[in-house]
Structure 1
Amino acid sequence: MAKISYAHQRGEIKESIIKAMVNDPLFRTRIVKSKKGKGSYQRKQKHRQAFSKGESPFKSNLNRLFSNGLF
C-alpha cells in the first residue's frame, strides 16, 4: 500500500489526527453545479453584453428620448 502525503493547514496537531484532518479545508462542503438532469439548465447570453459592463439596459432608449427634446 502506497503512502499518500498531504500538507495539512492545521499547524501543530495536538489531539487527534482524524479530528484535525476533518476540520481541514480539504473536507469542506462544496456546491457543485450539475451538468445533466434537474437544475442543470443554463440560459444563453443573448442580450447581456451591455449588462456585464454595468450599463443600463435602457441606455439607448434614454439617449434617443433626451436627444429628440421630448424631456
Structure 2
Amino acid sequence: MTECLGKTQVEMLVNTPDLIMADLRRTPRSTLAEVASTIGKSVCAVERAIAKLVDAGKLCHVGFKIDGYLTVLE
C-alpha cells in the first residue's frame, strides 16, 4: 500500500503596515509605487495602510505632497 503525504503550504502572516515600515526603514525616500512593488501589494493598499500609520503616529510626511517623503517615527 502506497501512502501519499501531501505538503501543507505554510504562509507567514505579515501585515501590510509591517512590510511598509520595514521597506521605508531600508529605503526611506521610496515612492508609493516603489513600496507597493517591493512588498507585492497594490498602490491603493499601500495608500490605505500609510494613512493608518500616519494617523497612529508611526509615519510622518515631510515636505510638500509632490516632492515630499515619508519618515518612520519609531
Q: Which has the larger strand fraction?
A: 2
Q: TM-score, normalised by structure 1?
A: 0.20
Q: TM-score, normalised by structure 2?
A: 0.20
Q: Which has the higher contact order (CA 8 A, sep 6+)?
A: 2
Q: Which has the larger helix fraction?
A: 2
Q: Which has the larger radius of gyration?
A: 1
